[in-house]
Amino acid sequence: MRRTLVAVVAMAVITPVALVACGKDDKQPSAWVGTPSASASAGPSATGREESATVPIDLAVTPAAGKTDVPVSAEIGFKVAGAKVTQVTLKDSKGAAVAGALREDGTAWVPAAPLKTKQKYVASVVATTDSGQTATKSTTFTTMGKPGRRTGTGLYLFDDKTYGVAMPVVVEFSPGIKKANRAEVERRLFVTTSPAQPGVWSWTSNGTQAYYRGPEFWKPGTTLKVRVALGGLPTGGGRYGDRDRSATAKIGRRFEMKVDNASKKMTVLQDGKTIKTMPVSLGKKSTPSSSGTMVVMDKLVHTIFDTTAELGPEEGYRTPIDYAQRLTWSGQYIHAASWSVGDQGRRNVSHGCVNVSPSNARWLFDRTLVGDPVTVKGTGNELAYGNGWTPWDKPWSEYVKGSALPVPASLK
């Protein structure tokens, strides 16, 4: 189910839940990036000879000839019978070739970047039979001007960074994408994994985020290459995607944290082996911790938890915090808590966070990566889907139901 692009021979083608928990700071994780027909008769062959009547080639190309106000996200689409597309060429009004690649399913050719506004383009598609006969179909179209309304987008992934094995590819939309428009948006979200691993996109109910993950955690050492190709794409309601975004990142070693409310301990595993256990204190009865599978979203050596704006000066608090690792949008963290060391391993006294001693907090902070999985169980308060990067909190059979595109039977 990888949304990948395959090179084809051609001329020069080569957002948060408003809840209150332990810490409610408005800073988002630093990984936010800025916000990657009908059939027609066969034409003459590339050699100038007419095709043999015994080997008909039906080839149709989009956008239609003479079409105007074409979105700058336009792909060169085609339908072909009796042959295979072997070459796609796209040139701008100055005759410069545009780079791009063929979709893996062979249904269209996708430019490597959004086209320019208010410009005429000429596309040429060549189809070839097994016997070497060819047919060429060309089309000329003009792109639209700059749109007035845009959908803001973001990609929680940085180039050349290393993430934990549970790091989902997270794309955010503002405003959210309605169900009727999600399939077309999802078709423009491309992920390539090396070594190759299956994956599926899945949407949150309000359409503000789409996650990409596989049935299992990524293999350590995996390279993730992502292109969110939404620049100029119609996203519904008269809006268009603000820009393309892309990133290439690495997956590190397998490091997991498992917290059990019954024992009030955290078990830390690396590559499947327990390397440390430590006592914890979770959320007290009035402010319970969420149970579920989360990932580390952000890491802050020093920060301040300030809830006075939401809870008022009497109930709110403003507290300096060290070694904070964010787990939810609502403010659940793992962090140092010297004031609860006597309670850790014995009783829950926090405002929803996972309290650990300063020395244990520093030990964890020095070893964790954004994207490391954290599982909390037994608190009686279930994690709300979308409150953080939560795709691992659903079993695979449920997760894939959130895809806007058909999921292959082999991946269900």
Give the CATH number, domain containing residue 224.
2.60.40.3710
Q: Verify that 361 and 287 share a domain, yes or no.
A: yes
pLDDT value at position 306?
A: 79
Examine the domain organization and report whether 266 and 169 are in the same domain: no
Q: Is residue 281 part of a domain?
A: yes
- 132 and 49 within one domain: yes
Instruction: Check whether residue 269 and residue 368 sit in a common domain.
Output: yes
Scored b (16 or more CB within 10 A) or e, 269-305 reads: eeeeeeeeebbbbbbeeebbbbbbbbbbbbbbeebeb
**What pLDDT does residue 23 have?**
54
164, 137: one domain? no
Token pair of 178, please? Answer: 């309605």
Q: Which two tokens stand for residue 272?
A: 């499947």
Nearest to 264 by CA among 350, 135, 189: 350
Alpha-carbon distance of 220 to 224, in angstroms, equals 11
Same domain, residue pair 163 and 261: no
Q: Specify if 79 maps to a domain.
A: yes
Among 86, 118, 143, the domain-final residue is 143
In a domain, 222, yes or no: yes
24 domain residue, yes or no: no
**Which of these, 301, 290, 311, 277, lies nearest to 354 by C-alpha position?**
290
Range of the domain at 225: 150-252+396-411
CATH number where 119 lies: 2.60.40.3780
Together in a domain, 238 and 269: no
The beta-strand segments (E) located in 14-107 are 32-33, 58-62, 67-70, 76-81, 84-91, 100-103
Q: What angle do CA 193, 198, 202 make, to 5 degrees?
A: 100
265 and 376 both lie in a single domain: yes
Is residue 3, in this structure, part of any structural domain at all? Answer: no
- Cβ pair 199, 164 in contact under 8 A: no
The answer to whether residues 349 and 303 belong to one domain is: yes
**Domain closes at, from 121, 143, 165:** 143
pTM of the model: 0.85
């007290």: which residue's tokens? 284
353 catalytic residue (yes or no): yes
Asked if 364 and 268 sit in the same domain, the reply is yes
**Mean pLDDT split into 10-residue runs, the chain, 412 residues:** 42 35 46 33 38 72 98 97 95 97 94 98 96 95 97 97 98 98 98 98 97 98 98 98 98 98 98 98 96 98 84 76 97 97 98 97 98 98 96 97 96 92
Q: What are phi and psi of 305, to 5 degrees?
A: -90, 120
Give Dmax over CA atoms of the chain in angstroms: 88
Please, are residues 112 and 101 in contact by the beta-carbon 8 Å criterion? Answer: yes
Taking Cα atoms as reference points, which of 105, 139, 142 lies closest to residue 123?
139
- The verdict on residue 1 lying in a domain is no
Residue 370 falls within a domain, yes or no? yes
Please return the burial class of 18, using the count of CB atoms within 10 Å of its CB with bins 0-12, 13-18 and 19+. exposed
As for how many domains the chain has, the answer is 3
In a domain, 201, yes or no: yes
pLDDT of amino acid 26: 45
- Examine the residue annotation and report whether 22 is marked as an active-site residue of this protein: no
Q: Which residues lie across from 6 on neighbouring strands?
A: 102
Catalytic residue among 22, 302, 351, 353: 353
Domain identity same for 197 and 226: yes
Q: Is 232 left (phi over 0), alpha (psi -120 to 50) or beta?
A: left
What are the beta bridge partners of residue 333?
326
Domain boundary among 143, 178, 206: 143
